[in-house]
Amino acid sequence: MKDKNVYNLRYNEDDCSNTNDKHIAPDLKKIEELCGKNIKTFARGSYFALALTEEGEVYFWKFDKYNFTERGPVKSTPIRVSGFSTKRIVNIACGDVLFLFLTTDGEVYAWEDNIRQYVNITTFNGIVRQVKHGLEKKNIVHIACGNRSNIAVTDENIIYNWGDNMDGRISIQRQHYYEYPRKIIRISDKIVKVVCGCAHMLALTNKGKIYAWGNVYGQVGVNNNLISSDPIVVNVPQMGKVLNLDAYAI
């Protein structure tokens, strides 16, 4: 809110069932730990969420989707992620069980939780590590997370992918998993945004062109819709210059 108060929005499914009205107003609950802070953006994974402040502070909290009370899932208290006293974080991204940090000096840091550890939902129990092995001495300017794969873009408009390659979401090569960042393509135009779906990736340039790659069940806009694709320009007829894009799930 403009007054720097932060709220969690959710609705009680039992209330909706009783009134037979899915448009019932959501339940608003103030997140006291984040109120008064200069929140820049939020991101969420399958069972955790992040908040980034304008000053570069990151707050983390979990919610147990398998343990519900009358007012929703059990939620931990937001706590600040430590270990970045000499780094300023400018962007965050969340996947299913992983999140990425981007710092002002173009470095990428990652944390991956054990998906089976739903017990301890009260503390941040992960270790954040810098993503290297190909990204050293690169100035990263954009990051994105998919279900179990990730994107990093350099200031030279080179796109790197790593993570799960199931269904060819990273590469048409038959490699199941890319542990380290893999160079995908260098684009001559400036990349302004990248996003991940569950099994496909999109990149938007400053000239409004969309590049898409991954598992092609129609997501990337090519004719052979059952074959995985390397990056290809999506034909967007009669729409002029594309200004923004997003992707989610399949």
Q: What is the pLDDT of residue 75?
A: 64
Give whole-number Cα distances, 39 to 50, 62, 172, 203, in Å: 11, 18, 39, 26
CATH architecture type of domain 7-189:
7 Propeller (2.130)
Q: Looking up tokens 């107003």, which residue turns up?
A: 25
pLDDT score of 20: 57
Q: Where are the domains of the chain?
A: 7-189
| Per-residue pLDDT at 117 | 38
pTM for this prediction? 0.81
- Taking every pair of Cα atoms in the chain, the longest distance, rounded to a whole number of angstroms, is 58
Give the pLDDT of residue 129.
84
- How confident is the prediction for the chain on average, in pLDDT? 80
Please report which confidence band the pLDDT of residue 24 belongs to, taking 50, 70 and 90 as the band edges. low
Question: Each residue of 130-142: pLDDT tens digit?
Answer: 898 889 889 999 9
Query: In this predicted model, what pLDDT tens digit does every residue of 90-100 receive, in sequence order?
Result: 999 998 778 89
Structure confidence at residue 4 (pLDDT): 95
Q: In what order do the strands lie in the sheet with 229-233?
A: 191-196, 200-205, 210-214, 229-233
pLDDT digits (tens, 9 = 90+) for 188-246: 999 999 998 888 889 999 999 999 888 766 667 665 555 667 788 887 777 678 899 99
Q: Is residue 68 pLDDT above 80, yes or no?
A: no
Identify the DSSP state of 166: G
SS (H, E, C) 44-64: ECCCEEEEEECCCCEEEEEEE
Q: Would you say residue 70 has pLDDT above 80?
A: no
| pLDDT over 80 (residue 69) | no
